[in-house]
């Protein structure tokens, strides 16, 4: 695709693993965010409070704000955002948790293509 035909839209995927070191601080911050949300209906607010008190992943989800993450980034406008959080059994020594896995796969493919190209050139 030429630059003229390329879409103006870019999907940015971010995968984070966070360690909750102070559960009460996380919960308190999420509860404060819920209280400060002037647009949240009271019925939803009650449900949110219960969810946040029972699950750190829920508390974190209430604190994530994509608009704040982008800040005043020049030349872009956030069009749509979605996110989720979940409890995870994290082990940094397990290969499945290697966040650079896609990058490593791409490098392996490039090396294979380069090796094939060298073979053809001989």
| Residue 70 falls inside a structural domain | yes
**39, 77: one domain:** yes
Same domain, 70 and 100: no
Judgement on whether residues 61 and 111 belong to the same structural domain of the protein? no
Between 98 and 119, whose confidence is greater?
Answer: 98
Q: Are residues 17 and 56 in the same domain?
A: yes
Domain total in the chain? 2
Domain that includes residue 28, residue range? 9-88
- 54-102 per-position pLDDT tens digit: 999 999 999 998 888 888 899 999 999 998 899 988 888 888 888 775 5
Question: Exposed (0-12), middle (13-18) or buried (19+): which is 48, by Cβ within 10 Å?
Answer: buried
Give 34's contacts (C-beta < 8 A, 6+ positions apart).
Answer: 40, 45, 48, 49, 52, 62
pTM of the model: 0.67
The CB-side HSE value for 106 (13 A sphere, CA atoms) comes to 4
106 confidence band (pLDDT: 50, 70, 90): low
**106 and 65 in one domain?**
no
Residue 42 lies in a domain: yes
């Amino acid at each position: 695709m030429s630059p003229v035909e390329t879409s103006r839209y870019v999907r940015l995927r971010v995968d984070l693993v966070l360690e909750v070191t102070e559960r009460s601080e996380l919960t308190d911050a999420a509860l404060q965010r819920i209280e400060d949300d002037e647009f949240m209906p009271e019925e939803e607010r009650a449900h949110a409070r219960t969810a946040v008190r029972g699950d750190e992943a829920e508390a974190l989800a209430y604190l994530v704000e994509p608009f704040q993450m982008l800040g005043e980034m020049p030349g872009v406008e956030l069009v749509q955002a979605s996110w989720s959080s979940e409890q995870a059994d994290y082990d940094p020594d397990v290969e499945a948790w290697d966040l650079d896995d896609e990058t490593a796969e791409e490098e392996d493919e490039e090396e294979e293509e380069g090796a094939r190209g060298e073979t053809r050139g001989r």
